[in-house]
Amino acid sequence: MHYVFEPGFFASGPVHVALAVGTVIAITSAVVGVFTVTRGQSFAGHSLADIATTGGSGAFLIGVNQFWGYLAFGAGAAAFMEMIGIQRRRGRDVATGVVLGAALGLAALFLYLGTQYSSTTGASFTILFGSIFVLTSSTVPALIASALLALATVVALARVLLLTSLSPDIAAARGVPVRAVGAAFLMALAVSVALSAMIIGAVLSTALLIGPAATALRLAKSPVKAAITAAVLGVLAIWLGIVLAYDSFYWPPAGRGWPVSFFVVTLIVGGYLVTYLRRDRRPAPQENIDTEQACSPA
Amino acid sequence: MFTGVMANTWLAATVVAVIAGVTGFFAVLRGSTFAAHAIPNGAFAGAAGASLLGLNPFAGLAVFSVAGALGIAGLSRRSRPDVATALTFVMMLGIGALFVSWSSQYAQEAYSLLFGEVFGVSTDEVLPILVLGALSITAIIIMFGPLMLSSALPEVAAARGVDPRRMELAFLLVMALATSMTVPVVGALLMFSLMIGPAAAARSLTARPVLAMTLSVVIALVTVWIGIAASYQSNWPLGFYVGVIGAGFFLLGRAYAAVRRRLAVRGSPRPA
């Protein structure tokens, strides 16, 4: 046991908080992610994380609680994307890209102003990576409440969402307000992604949103099973990642510990690639038979 | 404002704007805006790795942006393109995080890669930018016909024997090439803003492909020139001006398209 868990792992306060919050985030991201992947909105999911982070640095600049900065920018960007045409399949990526481009401009400005006043060179860095070990337990309740709200919205809308994702025409014919449902989902996505970006950074936020969901959708046949599989995979990835990061303190080049984001991302992408191998094997025998038949003399 | 080091700035920024206008036009047309975001941003991990090994950051950027293009194109064969892009992207950044954690003095350099050092372009840096820029423009001109066809009408292109996957890979590689030279100059974030805003604006102004591409280049040039002048005067970062002006052009283009559509509806004869 000592070889897996370095001494002190279970006694460490930051590790407890990281595990608890990581679990909530992983489950929310995974379930929201199943719909994000089904609807082909991975780019929006990632962009909202970047944009929310911009809001966080803006809030920091004017001295407001960063939590609200993240939420406000995430939700505002979602509304903007909705307004300029994210609901149409063709214009989707462009609408997302334009909003992201503008927000990144703001990020540059906020960081510039921030370094003017406080000279924090590491600021650009948290934009990308965040750090799960710097959580304080005082932000945890508000965070869990918002995550649950986003999760509840998606679960409540699940049936309609699936229908509008798979065949918008049939949904419209049945009287489903397709655009309103899409907007509600985008808002839930924005909230869940803003939270995860705040805690674990934009990179891990995207990894946990897309990776487990895409893997689960390759393995499971029904949406419910996919959501459960994705949640399990996401939680496993973040737990293992935290354990490995804690252990890596004594690994070369020593003394600093490897980043959690590296481990979690590697586990997630690795898991996805494993399903690739599995998929590869199934059609392969058939191809072999075909070539054999083709090559055999008639 | 136009002398000394600033002359390099104007020159480098102009080349970058031309390339961003051209590649961005195809990125918007093909719906590969996520890749346009992922490749420049992910490539920064390569620069981190190169600085760890004491190599030229250009080499690291080139290796990682090409690896990113290959990863996206490879995974897209059996996955949805947006999922393939997202996973390639997070993997590159994850590796970047590892590299950065290994080297202690990297934070400042990373900042310049994300946001660029356009006001510090040296004369030595201008030449590789010009060469790589000419290379990527030439590549686009060579494959212009099939690329345009496969972007606008994928089915027709496939019927005429243009392999869509190969086309996607070729396009992503050109984007990677463009990225490895532009990121150290203008930064990964600015490169993305400069690719998307002007191209999206141009597309809402006209449906004719060559005209739209020209417009995209012109708007990118105007954006970056106004940006440099404003940034020079106000000392605020160029990335801010480019992001905001690019989005502004997009909104103007949208407004113009909406007005034109309304006029067209009013002018057309009503069905009896």
Three-class HEC string of chain A: CCCCCCCCCCCCHHHHHHHHHHHHHHHHHHHHHHHHHHCCCHHHHHHHHHHHHHHHHHHHHHCCCHHHHHHHHHHHHHHHHHHCCCCCCCCHHHHHHHHHHHHHHHHHHHHHHHHHHHCCCCHHHHHHHCCHHHCCHHHHHHHHHHHHHHHHHHHHHHHHHHHHHHCHHHHHHCCCCHHHHHHHHHHHHHHHHHHHHHHHHHHHHHHHHHHHHHHHHHHCCCHHHHHHHHHHHHHHHHHHHHHHHHHHHHCCCCCCCCCHHHHHHHHHHHHHHHHHHHHHHCHHHHHHHHHHHHHCCC
Percent of chain B residues past pLDDT 70, beyond the cut: 90
With beta carbons less than 8 A apart as the criterion, state whether B209 and B152 touch: yes
Residue B57: predicted pLDDT? 76
Size of interface A-B (CB pairs under 8 A): 187
The residue of chain A with its CA nearest to that of B115 is A108
Banded model confidence at residue B107, pLDDT cuts 50, 70, 90: low
Does residue A296 lie within any of the structural domains? no
Q: Which residues of A touch B31 (CB under 8 A)?
A: 90, 92-94
Surface of A (109-128) touching B: CB under 8 A: 109, 111-112, 121-122, 124-125, 127-128
Cα–Cα distance measured from residue A48 to residue A58, given in angstroms and rounded to the nearest whole number: 15
Residue A120: predicted pLDDT? 46
Mean pLDDT of A211-217: 94
Cα B47 to Cα A269, B53, B100: the distances in Å are 22, 10, 10
With beta carbons less than 8 A apart as the criterion, state whether A36 and A216 touch: no
Residue A256 to chain B, least CA–CA distance (Å):
8
Cα–Cα distance measured from residue A73 to residue A58, given in angstroms and rounded to the nearest whole number: 9
- Among A8-17, A51-60, A186-195, A245-254, whose mean pLDDT is lowest? A8-17
Residue A12: predicted pLDDT? 66
Does residue A295 lie within any of the structural domains? no
pTM of the model: 0.86
Does the beta carbon of A255 lie under 8 angstroms from any beta carbon of chain B?
A: no
Residue A200 to chain B, least CA–CA distance (Å):
12
| End-to-end CA, chain B | 62
pLDDT, chain B, mean:
84
pLDDT at A213 over 90: yes
Verify whether the Cβ–Cβ distance A105 to B241 is below 8 Å: yes
Q: Which residues of B touch A100 (CB under 8 A)?
A: 37, 192, 196
Interface-testing mutation among B78, B91, B204, B219, with chain A (most A C-beta atoms within 10 A): B91
Percent of chain A residues past pLDDT 90, beyond the cut: 28
Which of B86, B107, B246 is nearest residue A206 as measured by Cβ atoms?
Answer: B86
pLDDT at A186 over 80: yes
pLDDT at B2 over 70: no
pLDDT at B241 over 70: yes
Cα B95 to Cα A161, A213, B198: the distances in Å are 35, 22, 32
Q: Is B225 helix (H, G, I), strand (E, B) or coil?
A: helix
pLDDT at B272 over 50: no
Verify whether the Cβ–Cβ distance A269 to B98 is below 8 Å: no
Residue B71: predicted pLDDT? 93
**CATH number, residue A110:** 1.10.3470.10
Q: How many residues does chain B have?
A: 272
Residue A53: predicted pLDDT? 86
Mean pLDDT of A27-48: 92
Q: Which residues of A touch B85 (CB under 8 A)?
A: 42-43
What's the burial of A102, exposed, middle or buried (CB within 10 Å: 0-12/13-18/19+)? Answer: buried
Does residue A214 lie within any of the structural domains? yes
Banded model confidence at residue B154, pLDDT cuts 50, 70, 90: confident
Q: Which of A135-139, A278-282, B148-152 has the highest mean pLDDT?
A: B148-152
- Among A128-142, A245-259, B160-174, B175-189, whose mean pLDDT is lowest? A128-142
Q: Which residues of B touch A41 (CB under 8 A)?
A: 82
Residue A277 to chain B, least CA–CA distance (Å):
11
Verify whether the Cβ–Cβ distance B32 to A269 is below 8 Å: no
B23: DSSP letter: H
Residue A291: predicted pLDDT? 35
Residue A285: predicted pLDDT? 39
Q: pLDDT tens digit string along A70-96?
A: 889 999 999 988 888 766 666 778 888
Percent of chain B residues past pLDDT 90, beyond the cut: 29
Residue A287: predicted pLDDT? 35
What is the distance of C-alpha A194 from the center of its chain? 9
Verify whether the Cβ–Cβ distance A102 to B87 is below 8 Å: no
pLDDT at A39 over 90: no
Q: Which residues of A touch B246 (CB under 8 A)?
A: 98, 101-102, 105
Range of the domain at A261: 13-134+141-290
Higher pLDDT, A17 or A68: A68
Residue B111: predicted pLDDT? 61
Q: Which residues of A touch B90 (CB under 8 A)?
A: 203-204, 206-207, 210-211, 265, 268-269
Residue A215: predicted pLDDT? 94
Banded model confidence at residue B165, pLDDT cuts 50, 70, 90: confident
Banded model confidence at residue B108, pLDDT cuts 50, 70, 90: low
pLDDT at A132 over 60: no
Surface of A (47-66) touching B: CB under 8 A: 47
Verify whether the Cβ–Cβ distance B246 to A84 is below 8 Å: no
pLDDT at A7 over 70: no
Verify whether the Cβ–Cβ distance A97 to B192 is below 8 Å: yes
pLDDT at B40 over 80: yes
pLDDT at A52 over 70: yes
Mean pLDDT of A210-237: 92
Does the beta carbon of A42 lie under 8 angstroms from any beta carbon of chain B?
A: yes
Residue A104: predicted pLDDT? 87
Residue A294: predicted pLDDT? 38
What is the distance of C-alpha A298 from the center of its chain? 55
Verify whether the Cβ–Cβ distance B100 to A125 is below 8 Å: yes
With beta carbons less than 8 A apart as the criterion, state whether B113 and B47 touch: yes
Verify whether the Cβ–Cβ distance A102 to B247 is below 8 Å: yes
Residue B84: predicted pLDDT? 93
Does residue A298 lie within any of the structural domains? no
Does the beta carbon of A285 lie under 8 angstroms from any beta carbon of chain B?
A: no
Does residue A59 lie within any of the structural domains? yes
Number of domains in chain A: 1
Q: Delineate the domains of chain B, giving CATH numbers in brackets.
A: 5-267 (1.10.3470.10)
> ipTM score of the complex?
0.87
Q: Which residues of A touch B219 (CB under 8 A)?
A: none
pLDDT, chain A, mean:
79
Q: Which residues of B touch A107 (CB under 8 A)?
A: 189, 239
Does residue A2 lie within any of the structural domains? no
Residue A296 to chain B, least CA–CA distance (Å):
30
Which of A97, A122, A206 is nearest residue B196 as measured by Cβ atoms?
Answer: A97
Q: Which of A40-54, A63-77, A165-179, B110-124 has the highest mean pLDDT?
A: A40-54
Q: Which residues of B touch A46 (CB under 8 A)?
A: 34, 37, 86, 89
**Nearest alpha-carbon partner for B172 in B246, B251, B72, B102:** B72
Q: Which residues of A touch B114 (CB under 8 A)?
A: 124, 127-128
Banded model confidence at residue A67, pLDDT cuts 50, 70, 90: confident
Does the beta carbon of A253 lie under 8 angstroms from any beta carbon of chain B?
A: yes
Does residue A297 lie within any of the structural domains? no
Cα–Cα distance measured from residue A9 to residue A19, given in angstroms and rounded to the nearest whole number: 11
pLDDT at B69 over 70: yes
Does the beta carbon of A236 lie under 8 angstroms from any beta carbon of chain B?
A: no
Mean pLDDT of B141-170: 86
Does residue A4 lie within any of the structural domains? no
